[in-house]
Amino acid sequence: MPTPRTHVVVGVALGQPDAVVVTAATFAERFGAELVCASVDVARYPIDTGPAGTVIATSIDPDLADDAVEVFDPDLRSAIAAALTGRQVPWSTRALAGSPARELARLADDVDAAMIVIGTREPGFRGALHEFFNGSVAAQLAHRQHRPVVVVPLSPVGLDAPLPWAEEER
């Protein structure tokens, strides 16, 4: 397999449906690109970058302040490997920390990605709370960087159905 000349960055999280990684892999295959699977720890923020792009981060909680190199979750790596079984796409992982939109955009800049792929927010109170305080990752990416952003719908509703956030307001 030839060495990829470009990259597709995909935001991943443990428990996320395989559709996000599979969709990103489809784009990567079509572009002859490497798939870069990035997980962002929102409870930590980056303080430095180590060798080979590793991220050194510390907790946002001052009582838990500990500087450490971010490590990609082995369970998440296994889930990605299972989702990509049989796919002909080179892939790698990156553990990041901080704001998901900012860190995914920064990674996309670092690897000169063709696009960023993310899933829609998780349904329910936790997802709504995260989006309320942090804003939509998709909206932030679409307005704060120059690459295309592909948003994979995880829980689509019909055209006549109320949108997920409208249901939560009732």
The domains of the chain are located at: 7-169
Tell me the whole-structure pTM to 2 decimals: 0.78
* Least confident span in 4-13, 42-51, 158-167: 42-51
How far does CA 21 lie from the centroid of its chain? 10
Spatial contact of 20 and 154, defined as CB atoms under 8 Å apart = yes
Question: Does 89 score more than 90 pLDDT?
Answer: yes
Residue 65 is predicted with a pLDDT of 60
pLDDT per position as a tens digit, 93-111: 998 888 899 889 999 999 9
DSSP 83-152: HTTT----EEEEEEES-HHHHHHHHHHHHTEEEEEEEPPPSSHHHHHHHHHH--HHHHHHHHSSS-EEEE
Per the structure block, which two tokens stand in for 167?
Answer: 């249901």
CATH architecture of 7-169: 3-Layer(aba) Sandwich (3.40)
Per the structure block, which two tokens stand in for 153?
Answer: 């719908």
pLDDT per position as a tens digit, 140-168: 888 888 899 999 988 777 788 876 656 55
